[in-house]
Amino acid sequence: MGTATLVFELAVQRRSANGSVPLKARIIFKRKKVERLVIRIPEDQLGNWDMIKSRFKPSAPPFYNKLLSDWQQKFDKFVSDNYFELGKLEVEQIAEIFDIEADPTDIFLLTYLTDYYEKVLLKQFDSAGGTPRNFKTALTILTKYLESSALKKIKLKEFDKTAFVKFHESLTDRNRLPKPMKPNSAGSVVKKLRPAFNRAVLLKLIPENPTYGTKITTKNPQKPRLDISELKRIYLLDCSDNYSLNLAKNVFLLCCFTGFSIKDVMSLKKSMLLKRDNGEVLIRKRREKSNEEVLIFLHKYSQAILNEFAELPEMSSAENLLPKRVGEFINRQLKIIGAKANIPFNLSTNIGRHSFRQLIRESGIRDMATIKKMMGHAPPRDIDSVYDFVTSKDLFEAKTRFESFLTENLLQ
């Protein structure tokens, strides 16, 4: 996890026209750093700064060292109070403890949530990514509720469990316009807002997360997925006489063989293939949706598809491993492929990822830490990252088991 450090420094290179110099607080964490201005020091006091001790000499006004001590105590208290949660934060989030000067009761709920979107999510994800996009959707729903309930100016601290339960219940109210949400959709809104309130608790803005204790339904209905016999019918389907169908078939099979979403396979680049000394190839990338790391060894079936793509004329000088196609195009072709292969439901690229999860289970892979790393799932608790360390050996054994399972069932 690493240690968070706070140091003070006179930024003499930023001396102003009147000779004053900014005194900066630098927060260092996870090999990153951010700075905050503590105070500007007039020119006649610069000689009182002790660079070794990072404090002012006794001849300086006592106010200066008192201010630095207050900053240090605030920093130390935050690190101590949130020791076990610190690994989930970024250095910018720790630095925010010095940005909050107003009483928490003066912070409007919508102001806080908007700041969370702009200052936290957009620093970690692209605005078009799933996480910020989903949060903004939930925030829009909450904003409309607050406006309709004359609560647009409600303070963050006032939005307690009672207020949140009323909001949650309003989502499924049969009189809701334009229409009531299903319980599953309402629960999804709660889940998207929850991390923002977790952060507010860490920053001591509210005593507890109002979304906890709210009964939510978030279990999605079972999505269609292929069993090995259905996958075999698609794998053996001859589409060589139709370029578009064959391309879509190979994209879909790659999703089934790797667990990648359509955005993930379309963003695969040559630089993400790491060749090992034994000739094996490891894919290392971050999921487009969640930014979670994926590590998975290429088995021969995935490699064969990538080799086929590499021979296409349009890929002769491309850095990407797959020809660029939008998901809608692939899904249109998959409906035809599904009909030809006698699949009892409409195929889509998303089914490929779900089928991969089904197939690796059928192949006998059970270790959850390995499965999470192969699929790019976020660990539910930070302790997973401490005790569930996945080695290359674990991933290679999973690859070997899955490859053998495919060989036994696709080629027999």
Q: What is the mean pLDDT of residues 268-276?
A: 91
* Confidence band, pLDDT 50/70/90 cuts, at residue 383: very low
Q: How many residues does the chain have?
A: 412
What pLDDT, in 10s, does the model give residues 74-85? Answer: 888 888 888 888
* Number of domains making up the chain: 3
Task: Inform me whether the pLDDT recorded for 223 exceeds 80.
Answer: no
Q: What confidence score (pLDDT) does residue 368 get?
A: 85
Residues 406, 270, single domain; the answer is: yes
Question: At 90, is the pLDDT very low, low, confident or very high (cuts 50, 70, 90)?
Answer: confident
193 & 109 share domain: yes
Instruction: Tell whether 223 is covered by a domain.
Output: no
CA gap 336, 351 in Å, rounded:
15
Question: How would you class 327 by CB atoms within 10 Å of its CB: exposed for 0-12, middle for 13-18, buried for 19 or more?
Answer: middle
Q: Examine residue 217 and state whether it is found in any structural domain, yes or no.
A: no
pLDDT band at residue 386, thresholds of 50, 70 and 90? very low
Domain that holds residue 337: 228-410
Whether residue 72 is found in the same domain as residue 194: no
Q: Give a yes or no: residue 90 inside a domain.
A: no
pLDDT for 33 beyond 80: yes
DSSP 299-334: -HHHHHHHHHHHTSGGGTT-SBSS----HHHHHHHH
292 pLDDT higher than 80? yes
Per-residue pLDDT, 221: 56
Residue 243 within any structural domain of the chain: yes
When pLDDT is averaged across residues 20-40 and rounded to a whole number, the result is 88
Q: Are residues 329 and 277 in the same domain?
A: yes
Among 186, 202, 218, the domain-final residue is 202
Q: Are residues 51 and 125 both part of a single domain?
A: no
Shared-domain flag, residues 167 and 292: no
Which pLDDT tens digit goes with each residue over 162-185?
888 899 989 888 888 788 888 888
- Edge-to-edge, what's the strand order for the sheet holding 32-41? 5-10, 21-29, 32-41
* Judgement on whether residues 132 and 236 belong to the same structural domain of the protein: no
User: What average pLDDT score do residues 62-66 get?
Assistant: 83
Handedness of CA 316, 322, 327, 331 (dihedral sign): positive
User: What is the percent of the chain with per-residue pLDDT over 90, rounded to a whole number?
Assistant: 27
Kindly report the number of other CB atoms within 10 A of residue 14's CB atom: 12
Q: How confident is the model at residue 269 (pLDDT cuts 50, 70, 90)?
A: very high
* Domain co-membership, 293 together with 406: yes
pTM of the model as a whole? 0.53
- Do 162 and 297 have their domain in common? no
Q: Are 399 and 310 part of one and the same domain? A: yes
Of residues 174 and 103, more confidence is placed in 174
CATH number for the domain harbouring residue 251: 1.10.443.10
Question: Smallest Cα–Cα separation from 232: which of 365, 21, 411, 354?
Answer: 411
- 232 and 367 inside one domain: yes
pLDDT computed for residue 378 by the predictor: 64
pLDDT band at 382 (very low <50, low <70, confident <90, very high): very low
Same domain, yes or no, for 108 and 72? no
Burial 197-213 (b: 16+ CB within 10 A, else e): bebbbbbebbeebbbee
Task: Tell me the residue type at 322.
Answer: L
Euclidean distance between CA atoms 170 and 144, whole angstroms = 11
Last residue of a domain, one of 49, 83, 117: 83
What is the per-residue pLDDT for 307? 92
Q: Is residue 372 part of a domain?
A: yes
Residue 98 belongs to some domain of the structure? no
Residue 120 domain flag: yes
Q: What average pLDDT is seen over the chain?
A: 85
Q: Is residue 91 part of a domain?
A: no
- In this predicted structure, what is the pLDDT of residue 278? 85
pLDDT tops 60 at residue 310: yes
